[in-house]
Structure 1
Amino acid sequence: MNELITLPNLHPIYLQVLDSLDVGIHIVNHEGISILYNSKMAEIEDMDKRDVLNKNIMDIFLFSSEEESRLLQALRKGTVRKNAKQTYFTFKGQEITTINNTFPLMHEGLIIGAVEIAKDITKLERLSRVSALDKQDTNYTFDQIVGESTAITEVIEGAKKATRTTSSVLIMGKTGTGKELFAQSIHSGSDRSSKAFISQNCAALPDTLIESILFGTVKGAFTGATEHPGLFEQANSGTLMLDEINSLSAPLQAKLLRAIQEKKIRRIGDTKDRKIDVRIIATINEDPLSAIEKNTLREDLYYRLSVVTVVVPTLKQRLDDIPLLVDHFIGKYNERFQLNVPGISEDVMNLFIQYDWPGNVRELEHIIEGAMNLINYDEEIDYTHLPTHVRTKFPLFEATKKPTATLVNHNSSDSKTLQEHMERVEKLYIEQSLKQHNNNITRAAKSLGLSRQSLQYRLKKLGLSSQ
């Protein structure tokens, strides 16, 4: 029967293709001997192919019995598993977690081998364990939400009313508008403020992993499963925020709806229900009715979550708040970076008012942070400090800031070289700066972004007086 499946003798091109895939592939023959083990699987399990190929799978991995090996279950019993999570240990003692598709290989009605296709989620699993144990204590209150525009103050006043009850809340808003700030503020203002506030981004992890994170597991639920409480249990008596709720699959949304309605959850692999007392705050970054039409959000779940609805405005809808937000972020990064940046130029403020802000408040913060990485200690943020994608959209701002018409003569009779033009422009800029600062070398150098020594060198090179 061995002759029926001689994959190690495949054409080198086929083996090269298998090695280039971003999923691990492990194939055993009818005796449980490893006959194909691609590079990705070797990377996932941190194994050398030579330690795996032509060896029995029970000699390679730390399984207490064949029952624990899904490859051997596929080989011995024809068991097929799809998108199944598995945690196991290599012979080096390294813990691995993967999402696997495992199935037997058939020939003329006989099982001649088995194959496992694995996607590595070991890092995600470790991160989720750390996240799950972290109670993520709330940091924000309504007083810390920056803004005085009508658009934001009306939403704040409406959201404050939600602190009086334990009803579910649905927070709607584009990415970067600050939905989690509102969720934390509602929790902080409620009777549950002394209890846990736990936030989970539903789009960050695959369904097979998010389910175990939310509802927990019992020992033996799957290979390597341990007794582990989910986020519902960890947030008991507190608040659980589920970000991007519409990214969950329909079956998981149905399970979530049942948990909210019945106030009970069942861990994966368990046979008993556990009572929970958790307030759910869900967020969505699109119109929920549109999500319902696209079948990415269950209608019954939407109505159950939207007992209280908070709609966070985009930054474009609250332009009056930009000066306050700019001051807030400059203050934040002045403290973090030990700078003394006074603010932004008038041109930059005008640009900010005209900009579309697709990334909303989060984008504004990132632009301020990025600019303050390029700036001198007490320099004002100007057009040159802005990111390329903003300057590309507003090229005229740069042109209006540079007096090129007076500094460079483009008449055809002007035969100066580029270097001569550059020296002329540099000389005029320095002369203007010295004049503005009453020939104070230190202040002029700072305004030009130069050291005192560098400016003195240029003065000497350009034949300018330093007096």
Structure 2
Amino acid sequence: METYDIHNIPNDIFIKLLNELDVGIHVIDRSGKTIIYNKKMREIEAMAGEEVMAKDLLDVFSFEKSGSSTLVDALREGKTTKHLKQTYFNNKGREITTINDSFPIHKDGEVIGAMEITKDVTRFEQVIKENVLQKQHTTFTFEKIIGESEPITRVIEEAKRATRTSSSVLIVGETGTGKELFAQSIHNGSSRAEGPFVSQNCAAIPDTLMESVLFGTKKGAFTGAVDRPGLFEQADGGTLLLDEINSLDSSLQAKLLRVLQERQVRRVGDTKDKKVDVRIMATTNEDPLDAIAETRLRKDLYYRLSVVTLFIPPLRHRIDDLPLLLQHFFDKYNTLFHMNVKGITPEASAILRQHEWAGNVRELEHTIEGTMNLMVDEEIVTPEHLPMRFRKKYSFPESQASDNTLEETVNNFEKRYIEQKLKENDGNISRTAKNLGISRQSLQYRLKKHQLS
């Protein structure tokens, strides 16, 4: 039988070997151009060899904002990564999800290329997510987060990165900003998506019962106690979201910290620990540093939870998303109420833009629900349809015909209205802001925006 030196394998045997492998092989040279692209890789990426070979990788494929190509990173940074999930798109717009081992190729101490070994999980991920979302109530995904403004898109990209690991996540945001929506989206985008998602509002349960709810009970621990798993055991293999963690009693926070550190839970009344595999997410509706200073949040627990920290912007800081949010709620309540509301007048929109939205998106939804309850057959929301508190608080001009765009009309109205209020308050910024029902910082932003002195 003929044998070959491993360093002298004929090219046809080498190509045959590459094409028989059940994993994708992709190799680029020092310039980032493809020099090896096997059959399995072509199948995974639904690309012909001539579409990829001798071409710059970044000219052929596009990658999500949350991360660049693992193969290019291996080349540029000399970085080796193992079992890293990556989602990207081919030049036809097809989404591809893979698990990659990527590493640089060295010669004489210099990086001369990079190689990637790839397993395709695209269809597997689709099937798993479809099945999980059908079986569970955790139906929120990143695609359902509404908004295109810079503040919200930035935090979405940060949240997407958190799907790659099982590290703890602390989500900070005011009431009504959608913290649980982000938590569910992270869970459903992670490798734990097929596991349970368990959520508990810590402020909703009395301190005397919360320990039993979290850790479970053993029969006989107290009168009427039965063997019952706690939230940690229920969430085993998945994710546990603790909403308003800052409302949890300090002694319970200490016990929670122990579970996070040891990954073991002991039921109330039991003497044995049980191992649990749970990803912890927590939310707080106040600045965690303020909560620590006011002893509502233990510093050691904060450090344990805040491996990844997401700050969800309030609606007033992403007010440019208002048209998208309004349309979403119009569509939702059109279906529920059998109505046909199609839009909103510039005057009504301007009023909504002035509002501070202390309750954020949740308050906006309730406002639109209330507004549509006051409508009969109308298809356009006017100021008269808005709830009474808006009509009393904000004045609005009569509608006038104009060739201006909606955005121009709204901005012109806002500018005139602020000028009017400044004049009424003799130019005093603090009094004007209070009169408008917005913060001084928010008013200063609008003064700068409209170039008002």
User: TM-score band (shorter)?
Assistant: 0.5 to 0.7
CA distance in 1, matches of 2:258, 2:278: 13
Q: Deviations over 1:47-97 (max 9, x none)?
A: xxxxxxxxxxxxxxxxxxxxxxxxxxxxxxxxxxxxxxxxxxxxxxxxxxx
Which whole-Å CA distance do the structure 1 matches of 2:355 and 2:276 have between them? 46
Q: State how 1:3-82 maps to structure 2 within 5 Å.
A: none
**SS of residue matched to 2:381:** coil
Residue pair 1:265, 1:276 contacting (<8 A) in 2 also: yes
Question: How far did residue 384 of structure 1 move?
Answer: 2.1
2:302 alignment partner in structure 1: 302
Which residue of the partner structure matches residue 355 of structure 2?
355
- Check conservation: 1:198, 1:239, Cα contact below 8 A: yes
SS at match of 1:325: helix
Counterparts of 1:297-376 in structure 2 under 5 Å? 297-376=297-376
The answer (yes or no) to whether the contact 2:196–2:238 under 8 Å persists in 1 is yes
Provide the secondary structure at the position in 1 that maps to 2:343.
coil
Q: Give how far 1:378 is off.
A: 4.3
SS of the counterpart of 1:241?
A: strand
> Is structure 2 residue 152 aligned with structure 1 residue 152?
yes
Give the structure 2 partner of residue 78 of structure 1. none
Per-residue CA distance 1:402-437 (angstroms, 9 max, x = gap): 99xxxxxxxxxxxxxxxxxxxxxxxxxxxxxxxxxx
1:236 Cα deviation (Å)?
A: 0.3
Instruction: Say whether the 8 Å CA contact 1:342–1:378 is kept in structure 2.
Output: no
Alpha-carbon distance change, 296 to 136 in structure 1, aligned in 2, over 3 angstroms: farther
Which residue number in structure 1 is paired with residue 106 of structure 2? none
* 1:282 and 2:282 correspond: yes
- 2:204 partner SS: coil
In 2, Cα distance between equivalents of 1:343 and 1:164: 39
Q: CA deviation at 1:389?
A: 2.3
SS in 2 for 1:203: helix
* Structure 1 segment 354-433 matched on structure 2, within 5 A: 354-394=354-394, 396-397=395-396, 400-401=397-398
- Match of residue 180 from structure 1: 180
| Cα deviation 1:343-380 (Å, max 9, x = unaligned) | 22211111111111111111101101111122114432
Q: SS of the residue aligned with 2:159?
A: helix
Give the match for residue 229 of structure 1. Answer: 229
Partner Cα separation in structure 2 for residue 402 and residue 311 of structure 1: 39
Give 1:383 shift. 1.6
Distance 1:216 1:381 in 2: 51
Match of 1:207 in 2: 207
- Which structure has the greater CA radius of gyration? 1
CA deviation after TM superposition for structure 1 residue 319, in Å: 0.8
**CA distance, structure 2, for counterparts of residue 378 and residue 331 of structure 1:** 15
Once residues 355 and 245 of structure 2 are traced to their aligned partners in structure 1, the CA distance between those partners, rounded to angstroms, is 30
What is the alpha-carbon distance in structure 1 between the residues aligned to residue 173 and residue 328 of structure 2? 21
- Secondary structure of the residue aligned to 1:252 is helix
Instruction: Tell me the residue number matched to 1:169.
Output: 169
Deviations 1:289-319 (A, max 9, x none): 0100000000000000000011000001001
The alpha carbon displacement at 1:401 in A equals 4.0
Q: Which residue of 2 aligns with 1:195?
A: 195
- What is the percent sequence identity of the aligned residues? 62
1:227 shift after superposition: 1.0
Secondary structure of residue in 2 paired with 1:225: coil
**1: CA distance between counterparts of 2:265 and 2:388?**
49
Note closer, same or farther for the CA distance 1:155–1:402 as it changes in structure 2 (3 Å cut): closer
Please tell me the residue identity of whatever aligns with 2:307: V
TM-score when scaled to structure 1?
0.56
- Aligned-partner residue type, residue 314 of structure 2: T
Preserved CA contact (<8 Å) 1:169 1:306: yes
- 384-393 vs 351-360, which deviates more? 384-393
Output the aligned Cα RMSD.
Answer: 1.5
Query: Does the residue aligned with 1:137 lie in a helix, a strand or coil?
Result: coil
Q: Which runs of structure 2 are paired with 1:129-140 in the superposition (5 Å)?
A: 137-140=137-140
User: Distance between the aligned counterparts of 1:216 and 1:302, measured in 2?
Assistant: 23
Is the Cα contact below 8 Å between 1:315 and 1:361 reproduced in 2?
yes
State the match for 1:127 in structure 2.
none
Aligned to 1:273: 273
The residue matched to 1:309 in structure 2 has which SS?
strand
**C-alpha distance after superposition, 1:112-150 (max 9, x if no partner):** xxxxxxxxxxxxxxxxxxxxxxx9631110011000000
Aligned residue for 2:245?
Answer: 245
Q: Is the 8 A contact 2:351 2:390 kept in 1?
A: no
- Letter matched to residue 350 of structure 1: A
Contact 1:250 1:297 in 2 (8 A): yes
Query: 1:380 and 1:200 mapped to 2: Cα distance?
Result: 39
**Which contiguous aligned blocks of 4+ residues in structure 1 show a shift greater than 4 angstroms?**
none
TM-score normalised per structure 2: 0.57
The answer to whether the 8 Å contact 1:334/1:341 transfers is yes
